[in-house]
């Protein structure tokens, strides 16, 4: 039964907008069509400017962009930030047992989804209000402020429904993953070929004109990407692809058919890239709110308590640069030159990132239904057993406990290291962005292969749990 908190959302579940799950089997080509349509709508929204503000008034907040799939000064100003933040808050509450929720119970799972949607809409309104009240768009008159607020709120609800459309079975994967991947791909492309500042156009032209030496282009400097970052981007892609394929395979046999053998893969990145998504979302929110409070109350860095959260100074081009407080240590130093200049910041950032990646990895085991007990029950219900062990959930669980917790912690450390160290070398699209995009591409490859096999050979659907 649903806990007391989730029960509060039962009346809301009837009136909140939702996408109905398909009542029939959606064919492969139809899923491909809807996935493409969702991506096109996102890309269009990323280019439509907010009505009522000028591009110069749009806040930069660069640290939020990759993780939240947002685009400055457009309808996608907030991106998927409210959705990711809402999911993070509720999953932490469930994982810490502050909210009762049994994810194996369809009613609880449905109410959890409703609660996530309601909180996402609330956070969209909160963040939109914070942008306006905090002066991120400058001083806006009343009607203009209301217009901007309504645009951001409507765009947030559209993004929520687009994500739900994909997740309910009309498309492949999830809308959030799709948006992140598209945003990272755009970022990498422009860092390579942008006429203004791209590595192979803008930055190289700047060097050839005699403004800087070739060493500057190789190592990096200013706002331009570097050749070292380009090589590091390729290396990060290859390392992550290799790590995605590392796994331990437990032998299984099917109790109903003698001689039928199978294997249960336990990937090294067992909880995939979710820990770094949650950790980065947490860091991005710290960055956002610390900058907001600094703008409103602490522009002279004289408030002791707000200084603990974050201190800033105005840098080149009027951009705010963190110089102290918590935000200083959760903002990655981009590029080798910055790491050498601020080694303490680099070490602090990496240590905090690793700790939170491990915490979120272990939390997601139970919240995501990936724990040893849950997996053991699924295998027993499917009629599987480990050769040499009797067919019982307890026996299978004891074997899984030897691997899953250890692999979860190790996987959390690895994704944190990849994301953090990649940033130190100045990879394009940020280390977290590259990690997420490769993981998402790998997941989409597996989904598409599975869907294609199920389409061609319907008997496989039972094996895939469809």
Residue with tokens 């331009």: 224
> Residues 281-303: what's their mean pLDDT?
84
Range from 6-15, 272-281, 369-378, 411-420 that averages highest in pLDDT: 411-420
- The better pLDDT of the pair 105, 165 is held by 165
Interatomic CA distance for residues 413 and 222, integer angstroms: 30
The pLDDT value recorded for residue 59 is: 56
Q: Which residues pair with 324 in a beta bridge?
A: 311
Nearest-angstrom CA–CA distance, 236 and 414: 12
Q: What is the mean pLDDT of the chain?
A: 82
Strand partners, 375: none
Over range 129-133, report the average pLDDT. 84
pLDDT surpasses 70 at 241: yes
Task: Look at 104-113, 256-265, 297-306 and tell me which has the smallest mean pLDDT.
Answer: 256-265
Determine what percent of the chain is predicted with pLDDT higher than 70. 89
The Cα–Cα gap between 169 and 274 comes to 21
- Predicted confidence at residue 410, as pLDDT, reads 92
Q: What whole-number distance in Å separates Cα of residue 397 and Cα of residue 377?
A: 8
Q: What is the structure's pLDDT at 186?
A: 85
Tokens of 311: 């201190």
pLDDT range class, residue 3, cuts 50, 70, 90: low
- Tens digits of residue pLDDT in 145-154: 899 999 999 9
Band (pLDDT 50/70/90 cuts) for residue 1 is: very low
Q: Where does the pLDDT of residue 55 fall: very low under 50, low under 70, confident under 90, or very high at 90 and above?
A: low
Write the DSSP assignment of 204-264 as a string of letters: HHHHHTTSS-HHHHHH-BTTB--HHHHHHHHHHHHHHHHHHH-EEEEEEEETTSTT-EEEE
CA distance 86 to 115: 9
Is the sign of the CA dihedral 264, 266, 271, 273 positive or negative? negative
For 170-224, write each residue's pLDDT tens digit.
Answer: 888 888 888 888 888 888 888 888 888 888 888 888 888 877 788 888 887 666 8
In 233-362, the DSSP E strands lie at 247-254, 261-267, 311-314, 320-324
Average pLDDT rounded to a whole number, residues 346-366 = 89
Contacts of 401 (CB under 8 A, 6+ apart): 372
At 419-438, the pLDDT tens digits run 899 989 988 888 888 888 88
Contacts with 351 (C-beta within 8 Å, 6 or more apart), sequence order: none
Judge whether 182 and 43 are in contact, CB under 8 Å. yes
Cβ–Cβ under 8 Å, residues 35 and 167: no
Q: How far apart are CA 202 and CA 205, in angstroms?
A: 5
Q: What's the pLDDT at 352?
A: 94
Neighbours of 314 (CB within 10 A): 10
Q: What is the pLDDT of residue 263?
A: 82
Per DSSP, 199 falls in state I
Higher-confidence residue of 391 and 161: namely 161
Region 402-420 average pLDDT:
90
According to the model, what pLDDT value does residue 318 have?
63
Supply the pLDDT for residue 61: 55
pLDDT of residue 279: 86
Confidence band (pLDDT; 50, 70, 90) for 353?
A: very high
Above 90 in pLDDT, residue 379? no
User: How high is the pLDDT of residue 456?
Assistant: 66
3-state secondary structure of 324: strand
pLDDT digits (tens, 9 = 90+) for 317-350: 667 788 888 999 998 888 888 888 889 999 999 9
As a whole-number percent, the residues of the chain with pLDDT over 90 amount to: 17
Distance (Å, whole) CA 325 – CA 312: 9
- Look up the pTM and report it: 0.79
Kind and range of the H or E run holding 45? helix 28-45
What tokens appear for 366 in the block?
């139970």
Segment 22-51, tens digit of pLDDT? 888 888 888 889 999 999 999 999 889 888
Nearest alpha carbon to residue 365 among 374, 357, 356: 374
Q: How far apart are CA 58 and CA 71, in angstroms?
A: 10
The first and second tokens of residue 149, run together, are 């607020």
Cα–Cα distance, 112 to 294 (Å, whole number): 34
- For 138-144, what is the mean pLDDT? 80
CA distance 377 to 383: 10
Distances (CA, A) of 369 to 4, 271, 372, 376: 21, 11, 9, 11
Q: And the tokens for 163?
A: 């994500």
The CATH class of 1-172 is mainly alpha
Cα–Cα dist 221/358, whole Å:
33
> Please, how many CA atoms are within 13 Å of residue 193, restricted to the half-sphere of its CB?
4
Burial class (CB in 10 A: 0-12, 13-18, 19+), 104: exposed
pLDDT at 64: 60
Query: Where do the CATH 1.10.3370.10 domains begin and end in the chain?
Result: 1-172, 190-466
Per the CATH hierarchy, to which homologous superfamily does domain 190-466 belong?
SecY subunit domain (1.10.3370.10)
């Amino acid at each position: 039964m649903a806990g007391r908190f989730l029960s509060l959302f039962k009346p809301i579940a009837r009136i909140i907008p939702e996408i109905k799950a398909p009542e029939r089997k959606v064919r492969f080509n139809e899923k491909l069509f809807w996935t493409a349509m969702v991506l096109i709508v996102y890309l269009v929204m990323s280019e439509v400017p907010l009505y009522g503000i000028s591009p110069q008034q749009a806040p930069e907040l660069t640290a939020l962009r990759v993780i939240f799939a947002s685009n400055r000064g457009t309808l996608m100003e907030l991106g998927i930030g409210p959705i990711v933040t809402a999911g993070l808050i509720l999953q932490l509450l469930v994982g810490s047992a502050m909210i009762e929720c049994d994810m194996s119970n369809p009613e609880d799972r449905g109410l959890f989804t409703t609660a996530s949607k309601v909180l996402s809409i609330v956070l969209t309104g909160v963040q939109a209000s914070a942008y306006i009240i905090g002066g991120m768009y400058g001083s806006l008159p009343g009607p203009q402020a209301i217009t901007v607020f309504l645009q951001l709120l409507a765009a947030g609800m559209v993004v929520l429904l687009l994500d739900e459309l994909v997740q309910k079975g009309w498309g492949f994967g999830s809308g959030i993953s799709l948006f992140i991947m598209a945003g990272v791909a755009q970022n990498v492309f422009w860092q390579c070929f942008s006429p203004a500042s791209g590595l192979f156009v803008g930055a190289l032209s700047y060097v050839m004109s005699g403004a800087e030496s070739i060493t500057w282009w190789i190592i990096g400097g200013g706002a331009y990407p570097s050749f070292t970052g380009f090589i590091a981007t390729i290396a990060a892609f290859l390392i992550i692809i290799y790590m995605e394929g590392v796994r331990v395979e437990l032998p299984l046999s099917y109790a109903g058919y003698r001689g039928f053998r199978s294997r249960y893969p336990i990937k090294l990145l067992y909880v995939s890239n979710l820990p770094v998504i949650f950790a980065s979302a947490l860091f991005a929110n710290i960055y956002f709110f610390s900058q907001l409070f600094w703008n409103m109350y602490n522009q002279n860095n004289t408030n002791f308590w707000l200084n603990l959260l974050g201190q800033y100074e105005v840098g080149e081009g009027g951009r705010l640069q963190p110089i102290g407080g918590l935000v200083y240590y959760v903002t990655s130093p981009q590029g080798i030159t910055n790491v050498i200049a601020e080694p303490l910041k680099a070490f602090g950032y990496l240590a905090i990132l690793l700790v939170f990646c491990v915490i979120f990895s272990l939390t997601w085991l139970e919240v995501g239904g990936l724990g040893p007990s849950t997996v053991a029950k699924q295998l027993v219900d499917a009629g599987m057993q480990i050769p040499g062990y009797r067919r019982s959930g307890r026996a299978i669980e004891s074997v899984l406990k030897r691997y899953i917790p250890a692999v979860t912690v190790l996987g959390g450390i690895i994704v944190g290291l990849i994301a953090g160290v990649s940033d130190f070398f100045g990879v394009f699209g940020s280390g977290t962005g590259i990690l997420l995009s490769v993981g998402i591409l790998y997941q989409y490859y597996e989904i598409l292969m599975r869907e294609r096999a199920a389409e061609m050979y319907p008997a496989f659907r039972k094996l895939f749990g469809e």
